[in-house]
Amino acid sequence: MSTNPLLKDFTTPYESVPFEKIELEHYMPAFKESIEKARKEIDVIANSNENPDFKNTIEALEYSGHQLDRVGSVFFNLNHAHTNDEMQALARDISPMLTEFSNDIIMNENLFLRVKSVYENKSNFNLNVEQERLLMDRYKSFVRSGADLDKDKKEKIREISKELSKLTLQFGENVLAATNKYELHLTDKNDVAGLPEGILEGAQGLAKEKEKDGWLFNLQFPSYVPFMQYADSRELREQMFRAYSSRCFNDEFDNQKVIQRIVELRLEKVKLLGYNSYADFVLEERMAKSADKVLGFLNELLEASMPKAKKEFQELQDYAKSLGADFDLQRWDWAYYAEKLKTEKYDINDEITRPFFELNRVKKGIFDLATKLYGLEFKLNSEISKYHKEVDVYEVFDQNGEFISLFYADFHPRSTKQGGAWMTSFTDQYLKNGKDYRPHISIVCNFTRSTETKPSLLTFNEVTTFLHEFGHALHGMLSKCTYSALSGTNVFRDFVELPSQFMENYAFRKEWLDEVAEHYQTGEKIPADLVQKIIDSGNFLSGYSFVRQISFGLNDMTWHSVTEPVNKSVSEFEDEAMASTELFDLVQESCMSTSFSHIFAGGYAAGYYGYKWAEVLDADAFEAFKENGIYDKSTANSFRENVLERGGSEHPMELYLKFRGKEPSIEPLLVRSGLK
């Protein structure tokens, strides 16, 4: 029997990943053997002498490759959350292997003919709604991957897919390397004027880790964001901004040619499949359905928010002038003067609220919220293996004591971790042979670290980020589907953000803040006036925030709506795409596309609009809770049963209608955001 732990049954609690037993040298053999095993499983299905039916073809396909899925989830999750040079090198070799295997399945003519036969005769099989959904998704995945094309076109798609897998991986590696490379080392007290004590203490800690005196700042969010908000030195803010906004642009990690090639290959691939643009291809399988509808939606929001954004911009410009600024506001000035104006207007800023948002306290508050809404209980289990000492692992139980999920929480930045925050899974939920296999869900964040004198104290934005990722986690944990391909967050990309953004609403509710926010030193509950200031300041610069998000969505849609290869520079193309949203002068040697991992290394290509789309859904959904009580059990049960448990087992609009009783309206979002 193999001694490779990835190829053995996990005899751990809940069959959790035995991370401490897995070494780098285990991965490649595990992938090779698992791919070979999966090939044999596919061959059995494709070459069966039985007449094709749902069970022997579609369901058999769904349950094939289980070992490969498990190996892949461990490897790629760690490659994002706890990587190193050797692991990244492995990923560059493994990704093309997986693409090749995936293409072999899609291009297997016998297999496709069986899938097609089941699809064309589906009325004979008495399928339920979820089975119909799986059949339709499986058939479409074959067709949309080229299974119906002639041999030459199939081969071309195979080559394109392989190259794309390498390029998207390279894009993400370049962003991580560029982010990690830059450091701002300061030793003069005058250079750190304006920065709060807690931020300085964190910067001293970073410097000590590198055996340096003074303060060290980098481009990871807990370091970069407060520097831009508080540093009095305009020159250093500009330096930091230029470093952040020029990552992978005309530097040693340049992503410009990578982007142009990715866009070119995506277009070439979908044209072979009969689509005019990559956006047309993607949006066929989204709630939005078409590029025209997305662009109409984004422009409707732009029209609603731009007047307010312009007023806010002028207000901040005037405010800066009143403080002696003898210059027009530039991008590196925005966060700094916005923080000052917010403090003056509402007597609130991150440093005033931080002491009330100690990480463990916030975590308890979020767990308690899940208990109130859904009856969940979280128990820390220190015996379950984890991939890094900072990760916490929880067993999650329902109110009747039934095991629901494992939950991994990884909160702080490391040089081995990509930036941002995300939810993922090591195992998705599914049913097989009457057994409900429960999911193992993880959230990975980059929150402010503790220092020698203070615990981890979160900014308000970090609190909302925690709620957001936890919403995704609940979507994964509470799943009650039959098939893993449809369970949890395996839904349309413009629906997946509903559960996450829904949870953010609680950050602005007095009832929740009163329970969660408590001073880390005195134990004092957050004062009522401070709660009110958080609520009142919720729409501060909301017009600008809207326009900024819309600009990202337009940039994405423009890249992926092209019908011919792009013959402009990346920066020129981006500038034109975002021109209608610009409030600032353009900054030379600045380019956001080259580090826009969501669309060039993640799964949001032609889908970034989904954040705003889901805001319409979440604002409308939360109206139901506002009408009935934000902790109302029956409303929460309906949201759980019709949205969180159902994954992608039905069309998302059908699920939403079952919960809400009507289609979502844009009005609650405009009202909530102070735009109407």
Domain chopping of the chain, boundaries: 5-148, 182-245, 256-346+543-608, 355-540+611-672
Phi and psi torsions of 396, nearest 5° = -115, 130
Distance CA 427, CA 441 (A): 7
- In the set 62, 173, 462, 469, the catalytic residue is 469
Nearest-CA neighbor of 186 among 251, 241, 231?
A: 231
319 Rama sector, left if φ>0, alpha if ψ -120 to 50, beta otherwise: alpha
Can you tell me the distance from the alpha carbon of 298 to that of 308, in angstroms, rounded to the nearest whole number?
Answer: 16
Structure tokens at 123: 């009325």
Only one residue has tokens 């767990």, namely 367
Tell me if 256-346+543-608 shares its fold with 355-540+611-672.
yes
pLDDT of residue 394: 98
| Residue of 220, 249, 253, 599 whose CA lies nearest to 418 | 220
What's the CA gap between 561 and 607, in Å, rounded?
Answer: 12
Measured between alpha carbons, how far is residue 371 from residues 94, 560, 650 in Å? 41, 42, 27
Within 10 A of 525 (CB to CB), how many other CB atoms are there?
16
Cβ atoms within 10 Å, residue 555: 22
469 is catalytic: yes
The string over 370-383, giving b where at least 16 C-beta atoms fall within 10 Å of a residue's C-beta and e elsewhere, is bebbbbbebeebee
- H/E run at residue 665: none
Question: In this structure, what are the phi and psi dihedrals at residue 259, rounded to the nearest 5 degrees?
Answer: -60, -50
48 in the Ramachandran plot: left (φ > 0), alpha (ψ -120 to 50) or beta? beta
Hey, CA dihedral for 283, 289, 290, 291, is it positive or negative? negative
Q: Is 159 helix (H, G, I), strand (E, B) or coil?
A: helix
Is residue 14 within 8 A of residue 407, CB to CB? The reply is: no
The two beta strands, 430-432 and 435-437, are: antiparallel
Q: Which helix (H) or strand (E) holds 260?
A: helix 256-272
Overall CATH class of domain 5-148? mainly alpha
Residue pair 319/341 in contact by the 8 Å Cβ criterion:
yes
- CA dist., res. 267 & res. 249, Å (int): 23
pLDDT number for residue 240: 98
Is this structure's pTM higher than 0.95? Answer: no
Question: Residue 603, SS3?
Answer: coil
In angstroms, the CA 154 to CA 146 distance is 6
Determine the topology of domain 256-346+543-608 in CATH.
Neurolysin; domain 3 (1.10.1370)
pLDDT of residue 1: 56
Under CATH, what is the fold of the domain 355-540+611-672?
Neurolysin; domain 3 (1.10.1370)
Distance CA 610, CA 619 (A): 14
Contact status, residue 518 vs residue 526, Cβ threshold 8 Å: yes
Percentages helix, strand, coil for the chain (3-state, rounded to 5) are: 60, 5, 30
Largest CA distance in the chain: 83
Q: Distance between CA atoms of 44 and 548, rounded to whole angstroms?
A: 51
Residues 6+ apart with CB under 8 A from 543: 305, 306, 307, 308, 309, 310, 311, 312, 674, 675
pLDDT recorded at residue 80: 96
CA separation for the pair 146, 619 (Å, rounded): 39
Residues of the chain with pLDDT under 50: none
Characterize the bridge pairing of strands 422-427 and 430-432. Answer: unpaired
